[in-house]
Amino acid sequence: MDTILVVNAGSSSVKFQVFAAGRRGDPERQIKGQIDGIGVRPRLRASAANGDALIDRELGAEQVSTVPDALHAAGAWLRDACSISPIAVGHRIVHGGPRYDRPVLIDAQVLADLARYSPLAPLHQPNNLAPVRVLLERSPDLPQVACFDTAFHRGHDKVADYYAIPERFYAEGVRRYGFHGLSYEYIAQRLVQVAPEVARGRVIVAHLGSGASMCALSGGRSVESTLGFTALDGLPMGTRPGQLDPGVVLYLVQEKRMSAADIEKLFYHECGLKALSGISNDMRELESSVDPRAAFAVEYFCYRAALYAGMLVAALGGVDAFVFTAGIGENSAKVRQRIVGKLGWLGAELDPGANASARQLISRKSSKPALYVIPTDEELMIARHTLALIGERRVAGVTPA
């Protein structure tokens, strides 16, 4: 059985999934796993498609001290215990910059190009690329495909992507990219199955998680996003501030004498829900806390989401549906209720029972727009892209290793 390996690497974890690469229809998920606690208390966990546990094992910190170590450990287990030898590997790469607007087969030149975008996504890009680099060295004939979180937004009109700064900066790549594109692309495709009429219309999708953003879809195409040049803009996130007056950066440099490294650490690790609450960056902890600072952080998050909904409605010229997805969007009935409660001016009406049980359709029949909860599946999207690109190579007469 041909298989596709999907890898999503972070700073302290490597998530992986294995899909059967059927010649017809969607790739079928076979295994879902991860190694977390890298360098501290690494632990390998994996389950089958039906949820049955396949392994739950602690590994030595010396044995798995880096992301490449974790990739090697996961690969060895897949090979030895599961007889998995993938025909290709698909990677989530957060930033494709101005050059990459679709999935691409990775070689040394592509890897070098993508490494240059690391300052634009310092939490993600270096870690996304670490497994790519290892596999290029160890298995140079194994096809690897980069799937970008920015690519889905590349069809924006210029008026949506420009900053009001001199043209030379745009030419250098300083523009609004948008992120979470793999998630939005999946939702756009899923909506065709869930509600075809809605999929052809004007839809706002709220990808609410530790990283959060919102996207305006028109006919399944991204026309506007809350995220911009980097993954710092827009909504407040777990540890990132969201929208920020550039004058704040000038103040930190001029008055606080903070270096670029200090500001990067502050904005990526010490802001957002964590800073607002003083407690945690985890929405679950904030919702269960009796501390008024936690309540304020939750209210701030919902308030900003409602504000951005208004912006996206303006970009679309109206709205037919609103979709919640990702960790908070799929699991927090309270957050959904608070956000929808601020959208009454649009005619949004929540069905409390449907919302509490996280049904697919959570709005009343009289609601305009319709309200949905649709789980995202970025890994399936990556597997689809990888299989499609490998299929093109086969048609062209190139056989994957």
| 325 contacts 208 by C-beta, under 8 angstroms | yes
DSSP one-letter code for 112: H
Can you list the positions of beta strands (E) in 276-368?
Answer: 321-325
| Tokens matching residue 189 | 């495709």
Radius of gyration, alpha carbons of the chain: 21
Contacts with 67 (C-beta within 8 Å, 6 or more apart), sequence order: 9, 11, 14, 38, 127, 130, 131
Torsion sign over Cα 178, 180, 182, 185: negative
Taking alpha carbons only, the member of 376, 242, 216, 374 closest to residue 300 is: 242
Which amino acids are annotated catalytic? 149
**Distance of CA 58 to CAs 38, 46, 51, 81, Å?**
11, 12, 20, 16
Task: Report helix, strand or coil for 132.
Answer: helix
| 346 contacts 313 by C-beta, under 8 angstroms | yes
